A = this chain, B = another copy of it.
Amino acid sequence: MNKIIEKLEEVIFGTETRAGKFFDVLLLWIIVGSIIVVMLESVQEIREQYGAVLDFFEWSFTIFFSLEYLLRLLISRKPVAYATSFYGVIDLLATLPTYIALFFAGGSYLVVIRAIRLLRVFRILKLTRQVSEAQSLVRALISSRHKIFVFLGGVITLVIIMGTMMYLIEGGENGFTSIPRSIYWAVVTITTVGYGDIAPHTVVGQAFAAILMLLGYAIIAVPTGIVTAEIAGEVLQREIQLRKEHKSCHVCDTDDHDSNDKFCKHCGTKL
């Protein structure tokens, strides 16, 4: 019995063995499948025609996730620790929506339930844990988080000021019906999204908008500069680290030799 549990633990929690790897990839595809089913169900024509098939898949996925969750609880050496961990909670929430939809069939409630169901997506993120590159990206973002917060604070201040000014300049008849809506326009403009659902009509407003755009053009450089310097800095540091691991000469103390140098390049002593 213990052997079966050990084996199962290796398959479900582990990622080193072949079976464990296969289970993880299978799980990933099932998660992707369940997301696609939810997506297809939201398209009216598909829902009307293939509603029964989609329902079948949805229930299959739900039952699979439920069994998987129970198995994880049973097998885990520290079930409470697992159940209260981030992924434990996500695993539980991923199984619930379909059941809840069963008892509370009211349409309006379903909307909220689907939002929870959506969290299933986070399980895909498990994948990224294996990719070491993701960590270096996240590290670069984390070490520049202060700069980015300051930058976002500045952008938000600018957007509030610009939005209020445009509300005063353009006014409600040109679509700038309130300050929050004008701020929404300022965000749409400074981020260069530019839907065009709200656009300045007066000459002063257009001149003002042009200034905001050119500002945004210069400002967009800042976050890029921050993140690039951070990533480039990490590359530089790795380079320096490598250099420091070089051999040093015991005679003349010169220490910047490459690891494959055989003789001191300063005094010719054998290393």
Binding site for B on A (CB under 8 A): 35, 38-39, 42-44, 111-112, 114-115, 118, 121, 124-125, 127-128, 131, 133-134, 136-137, 140-141, 146-148, 150-157, 160-161, 164-165, 167-168, 172, 177-181, 183-184, 187-197, 199, 203, 206-207, 209-210, 213-214, 216-218, 220-236, 239-240, 253-270
Contacts and interface: CB of A to CB of B under 8 A. Distances in A.
A150 B165 contact: no
B157 A121 contact: yes
Given A133-B146, A239-B236, A181 B206 contact: yes
Contacts of A262: 253, 265-268
A263 B253 contact: no
A212 to B, nearest CB: 9
Contact of A147 (B136, B223, B224, B261): B136
Contacts of A160: 35, 121
A52 to B, nearest CB: 19
A6 to B, nearest CB: 33
Counting from the closest, the 9 A-B pairs by CB-CB distance are A263-B268, A193-B194, A195-B196, A225-B227, A261-B265, A225-B228, A42-B179, A221-B223, A196-B196
Contacts of A223: 217-218, 220-221
A128 B157 CA distance: 11
Contact of A124 (B157, B167, B177, B264): B157
A165 B191 CA distance: 21
A160 B194 CA distance: 21
A155 B214 contact: yes
A11 to B, nearest CB: 25
Contacts of A150: 128, 131, 133-134, 137
B191 A195 contact: no
Contacts of A227: 221-222, 224-225
Contact of A222 (B141, B199, B258): B141
A50 B38 CA distance: 41
- Of listed A133, A157, A191, A209, residue having the most chain B CB within 10 A: A191
A140 to B, nearest CB: 7
A114 B164 CA distance: 9
